[in-house]
Each structure stands twice: as C-alpha cells, then as structure tokens.
Structure 1
Amino acid sequence: GAHGTEYASIVAVERLIGRVDASELSGTVILVPLVNRASFDQKVVHVNPVDGKSMNRFYPGRADGTQTERASYLITKEVVERCDHLIDLHGGDLDERLRAYAYWTPTGREEQDRVSRDMVLAFGLDHIIVSADRPKDPTASRYLENTATTRGKPSLTAEAGHAGTVEPEDVDALVRGCLGVMRYLKMLPGAADMVESPVWIDRVLTVTSDEAGLFYPRVKRGEYVVKDTVMGHVTDFFGRRVFEARAPAAGVVLYICSVPSMTKGGTIANVGVVRPGS
C-alpha cells in the first residue's frame, strides 16, 4: 500500500488478515494493508498526491518532514524496528504491465544473507532481482525493505499484479508467498515450497522515451528479448512516429508501459539482465 494504485498487493494483505489463524501462529505478524491512502482514494500513480513524493523513496523518514516522510518515519519505528523479518509487497501500477518478480538484497553478512535468500526462495516467485546497489547507510536507507536490511533484519520485496488489475493468480501469488515465508520461519506449521530453479537477475535496465506523445508497445511482459529488439514506439498526436524504443541488452521484460500516455523521459520498460547459467 505504499503506492495506492498497486491494487493486487493491497488486496493480498487484506486477504492475509483473514487467512492467518492465531491459534496456529508462532510469533507475531504485523500487517499494514494501506499506507498511501491519498493515492488510493484519488487514483494517483507512483506518489503521494499530498506532497508529490513516492512512499518508497524517503526511508527512514523524518518526524518533522512532509506527510510521506512522517509516514515513513512511523513505519520505521512501529514496523521495522519491532520486526525480526520483513516482506514488502508491491505490484504493477496503473501504467505498468508487470510480470511477477522478487528482490533480494545481499549484504555480505553471511547469516543474514542465508536467511533472506531462503525467504525469497520460500516466497515462490521464480524471477529474482539481486539488488546489490542499495544504500548501505541505515540513516539514508531510502526503501522500506532496505531499511530493515540495513538494520540487520532479513527482508525481501515481492511484486505481482499488472496495470492496476486484481487478477486472482496475482493476489494468490502474494498471499501464498507470505504464507510460504511464514512456514519457512516456523511461524506456521508445514514446510515451504522453495523455488528450485530461480532466474537470478543481476541488473535492471530502464528504457526511457526521448519524446512525448502516444506509446505503442511491441513486446509483452515476461517476454525475453535480445539487444536492439524494438520494444515499442511513440507517435505525435497526428500519428507521426517520433521515437523508437530498443532493448539496451538481452534480458526479460520485467514491465512495459501499459498506457498510451508518454512523457519525454518517461519510462517505457524495465529489462532484467539474467545471470549467465541461471
């Protein structure tokens, strides 16, 4: 709920609230279904419309800051500092046709990395981005997951859902993933189904538009492309082609813009570069 129009993740947490049986639970679960209420109510993508800031870019927040910074500070104090492990759920926003994937952040701390790696495998999404470039300073952690990670808490981020839709398979993937991690951590009875052959993604390359206009995609989410594959094109408002977007490297289309509206410098797609042999 950091982004109020990533609906699949919001619905997934709502479902989890009803699914977790306290009589079977070992430990404590903190569930936060919706943080960015203004975005949800006003259907505003990516940011909190109150202050124009993303609610996953200003951690650990400030008690005396803008609304986004104050909310981030409160979550740091009331969720991150109280938990032992953390899962941050996201999904494809209204303008993002996204395939499901997770993020794993290695730290160089052996035990923390072992647990967080097992958590992401227990979650069950088979495409996993290795986030080796996250900030290391806990006072400038920026992302929710990284706020926990820099404080020594094994964590992961998972994304499912696309273009603002709430498809059962996307919601189920997020719910099932959280329950799987809880089983791995022995919070629930049973064994987690670990991903056996994950696709590790070492880099994410963003394709942007040089021109404003109407965007027409040529590839689909989850499609594998080679370098220079035409991913789509932009026309002006009279139908004249003004820009052609090409893949900067071979990889998997993590998401492609799902709407015609395109600004100069706007994101067209993210391409994940797959680790050799993965």
Structure 2
Amino acid sequence: MVRRTALLLAFVLSGAAYAADVTFGTATAKAGTRANGYLDAGSAVKLPVIVINGLRPGPVLSMICGAHGTEYASIIAMQKLAQSVDPASLSGTLVVLPLLNQASFARMVPHLNPVDGKSMNRLYPGSADGTETERVAWTVTKQVLEKSDYVIDFHGGDLDENLRRYAYWADTGVAKLDGVSRGMALAFGLDHIIIQRNRTPAANGAVTVSRQAQNMGKPTIVVEAGHAGTTAAEDIDVLVQGSIQVMRHLKMLPGAAPPVDHPIWIDTPTVVGSDRDGFFHALVGPEAYVQKGMTIGYATDVFGDRVAEFTAPLTGVVIYIRAVPSLRKGDSVAYIGAVVEDPSGNAGR
C-alpha cells in the first residue's frame, strides 16, 4: 500500500496526471488526446481546428495556415504535423488551423478570398459583422490568438510565386517579445531570416495575423516554404521538422533544438512591380544574389516583342520571383532584400 501511494504521488508530481480539458470551438481534447472540430465564423463558415492536449501542463502554441488557400505545401505540412505529434510526449497544447481560406482552396484562387475579394492576411483583428474574410479574422483573433502563448503563421509560394524558403522575424522594439520570437525563428532552422520592421497598418488599422498576435504580446514568427502551388516533399518536411524544433525549443516536446548556424539576415524586401500588362520572363531564380541594376526579368507583348525590362533596385537576395508568364499592370514580379548584420550583434546567431 505504501509503495502504491508513493508511485501515485510520483505520477502526480511528474505532471503526468495533468487532467485539464482544452476546448477550441467544437474540439475538446482531454489530457493526452487530440480532437478535431470547427470554429464558428458565422454565415456557415466553419474553420477546421485540431487540438492536441499534452499529458503535462505547458504553453499553448497555435499554428495558423491556409490564409492563402493555394499555398499547398504549408497546408499539407500542417496536416502531417498534427498527425505526427504524440499527445503523450507533449507538454502544453498544440492548436493547428490547417486551412483558413477554404474558398480559395476549393476554387484554386491565389492571394484572395474569392467570396469577397479580400486578403485573409491583411484584415486583422477583423470584424464580427463584416465580410467573410473579416469574420474569419475576427474569429481567429478572439477564439485563437487570445488563448495562445505563442504563434507560428505558415505560408509558401502561391500559384504565381517562385520563392526560396525563409522565416520572418519581427523587430517590434519590445525587447522581451523580440527575444522570444528570435529564439523561435532560430530554432525553426531556416537559414534566411527576414527582419520584419513594423509594417504601417492599413488606413482602417488592419494588419496581418502575425502583427495582430504581436500587438497582443504573443511571440510570433512567420515561415514560408513551397513554390508555385507545388507540394515537394522537401518543402513539407522542412515545415514539419521546423515546427517540431520550435516545440522542443519551447520545452513542449523532449529533445534538443540547436539554433540554425550562421543565419543570413535580410532587411525588409523591396518589391519590384510591373507598370504594364504582358508576358513575364524570369532571368534569375529565387535564391539568386543580384547586384543593383542587374536585369532580373523582362516582359514581352503577345507577339513576343520585348517591351520592358525589370532590374534589381538594390544589391541583395532574390526572395521571390514571378513564376508564371501572365502579367498585369500592378503585379509584383520580385522581392529583393539586402543582406544585413545580425540585428542582435551576435555573429552567426
């Protein structure tokens, strides 16, 4: 009897007897289990949510994906990640929203929600009585971000985007917040990290989901892998393994999470845009280093005659290059960012 009591006490003190239920929308997960459900965003819009509740107490990490429904690699990665995490090994709670923009996915429409023509990553905190996109943003803000301790926002190359893998780390000016999110970015393991300066909100005050989370004091990173709507195994694996590394870094999963060695820090990229319709032809790839003034692509008319050239506005790394010939006035054809020193002053880290 004494031995049984001692074993039970050790079990409780280890945290293994953690028994709190965790609920997000219709998904309620008991300790050591996972649950699938939906968040009600109004007007018949139901956001799928996966809740994985560990056997031990710990933080809530939310992974948000599919704001652009044709960034397929990140969406598939979230499905695979949720299937791979063992609740018995988890401390805390992992919340996965694998697909926010369901209409974009179903209709294969890049960038926007075809229901209302709005970007699902530009309207946070959203509105409870707005358009579909605004309601989705409001639902994520109120039902997910408010209950989260950490956030990762997943993206990738949309149907017309050929991009390299990279992470965004926000320099908000809040030392503690920036330090924690920096650790998350380094643990994720992508070796190119873009420094995201405080982006000016839209005229109505709307921001991205990552900026909204940061405004709420939640350490947040953005990661991108995949290009032009592809689902290459290596892109999916990078996102899955990076997510696991962050969970190890946050002590949610056992194991070491060494930070990436010698990351390349990149200043906020400059957009190269088109002032005409035409056919785009890329001359560089998404991992190229270019010099200011170098020709990175050109446009032809319908007859194949060259009508415009696009040059690098600065010396730096090509983060993204347009992946398709279709080109309209106002489209972006490339993002280029300058390589900068580690903002912390620590060489390599």
Which TM-score applies when normalising by structure 1? 0.97
Q: Is 1:154–2:219 an aligned residue pair?
A: yes
Task: Spell out the pairing of 1:40-55 with structure 2 (5 A cutoff).
Answer: 40-55=105-120
Larger Rg: 2
Equivalent in 162, 165, 174 of residue 100 of structure 1: 165
Matched, 1:242 2:307: yes
Match of 2:324 in 1: 259
The corresponding residue for 1:14 is 79
Structure 1 residue 175, shift from structure 2 partner? 0.7
How many pairs are equivalent?
Answer: 277
User: Could you list the runs of 4 or more consecutive aligned residues of structure 1 that deviate by over 6 angstroms after TM superposition?
Assistant: none
Pair 1:232-2:297 in alignment: yes
- Report the equivalent of 2:271: 206
Q: Residue 136 of structure 1: CA displacement? A: 7.8
The answer on whether the counterparts of 1:59 and 1:73 sit within 8 Å (CA) in structure 2 is yes
Partners of 1:127 and 1:201 within 8 A in 2? yes
1:1-278 residue pairs with structure 2 within 5 A?
1-135=66-200, 140=205, 142-276=207-341
Contact 2:166 2:191 in 1 (8 A): yes
Cα RMSD of the aligned pairs, angstroms, is 1.5
* Structure 1: gaps of 5 or more residues: none
Q: Secondary structure at the match of 2:106?
A: helix
CA displacement, residues 84-115 of structure 1 (integer Å, 9 cap, x when unaligned): 00000000000000100110112222221111
Aligned-partner residue type, residue 84 of structure 2: R
Q: Is the 8 A contact 1:211 1:242 kept in 2?
A: no
Larger RCO, structures 1/2 (Cα 8 Å, 6+ apart): 1
In 1: Cα distance, 2:135 partner to 2:339 partner: 37
Going by fraction, where is strand more abundant, 1 or 2?
2
Percent identity, aligned pairs only, is 53
Counterpart-to-counterpart distance in 2, 1:248 and 1:197: 26
Unmatched runs of 5 consecutive residues or more in structure 2: 1-65, 343-347
Structure 2 letter corresponding to 1:84: D
Does the 8 Å CA contact 2:171/2:198 hold for their aligned counterparts? no
Do the aligned partners of 1:141 and 1:150 also contact (CA within 8 Å) in 2? no
Please state whether the residue corresponding to 1:81 is helix, strand or coil: helix
Instruction: Tell me the distance in 2 between the aligned counterparts of 1:42 and 1:91.
Output: 18
| DSSP-derived class of the 2:111 partner | coil
Q: TM-score, normalised by structure 2?
A: 0.77
Local SS of the residue matching 1:4: coil
Counterpart residue number, 2:56: none
Distance 1:3 1:262 in 2: 20
**Quick one: which amino acid aligns to residue 254 of structure 2?**
P
